[in-house]
Amino acid sequence: MLAPHNKTLTPSQAAGLRRLRHIALDMDGTIYLGSNIFPYTLDFLRRLGELGIGYSFLTNNPTRSVADYLAKLAKMGISASEDNMYTTSLAAIDYIKEAHPSAKRLFMLGTPSMVTQFEKAGFESCADDPTDVPDVLVVAFDPTLCYERLCRAAWWASQGIPYVATNPDRVCPTDQPTILVDCGSLQKCIEHATGRRPDIVLGKPDPTMLHGICARHGIAPDEIAMVGDRIYTDTAMAHNAGAFGILTLSGETTLETAEAVARDAASNPSPEFYPPDLIIRDIAELADLLESVR
- Please give the tally of structural domains in the chain: 2
- Provide the CA 278 distance to its chain's centre, in angstroms: 18
Which of helix, strand or coil describes residue 89?
helix
Residue 15 lies in a domain: yes
- Percent of the chain at pLDDT exceeding 70: 95
133 and 155 fall within a common domain: yes
Query: Percent of the chain scored above 90 by pLDDT?
Result: 73
Task: Based on the fold, state whether residues 113 and 191 are members of the same structural domain.
Answer: yes
Boundary-marking domain end, from 201, 227, 254: 201
Residues 6+ apart with CB under 8 A from 8: 2
Which of 151, 169, 201 is where one domain is finished? 201
Residue 18 lies in a domain: yes
The pTM score is 0.77
Q: How many CB atoms lie within 10 A of CB 232?
A: 19
Reported as a pLDDT band with limits 50, 70 and 90, residue 3 is: very low
- The residue ranges of DSSP E strands in the chain, in sequence order, are 22-26, 32-33, 36-37, 54-59, 85-87, 105-109, 124-125, 136-139, 163-165, 171-172, 180-181, 200-201, 224-228, 244-248, 278-280
Q: Please give the pLDDT value at position 5.
A: 46
- Per DSSP, 84 falls in state G
Please say if the pLDDT value at position 214 is more than 50: yes
| Highest mean pLDDT: which range of 153-162, 230-239, 274-283 | 153-162
Asked whether the beta carbons of 16 and 244 are under 8 A apart, the reply is yes
Same domain, 107 and 15: no
The model's pLDDT over 219-266, given as tens digits with 9 standing for 90+, comes to: 999 999 999 998 988 999 999 999 999 999 999 899 998 888 877 776
Judgement on whether residues 53 and 97 belong to the same structural domain of the protein: no
**Average pLDDT taken over every residue of the chain:** 92
Residue 93 contacts residue 118 (beta carbons within 8 Å)? yes
Q: How many residues does the chain have?
A: 294
119 near 125, Cβ under 8 Å?
A: yes
Question: Which residue range is the domain that position 38 belongs to?
Answer: 11-60+204-292
Confidence band, pLDDT 50/70/90 cuts, at residue 162:
very high
- Summarize the confidence of residues 113-122 as an average pLDDT: 96
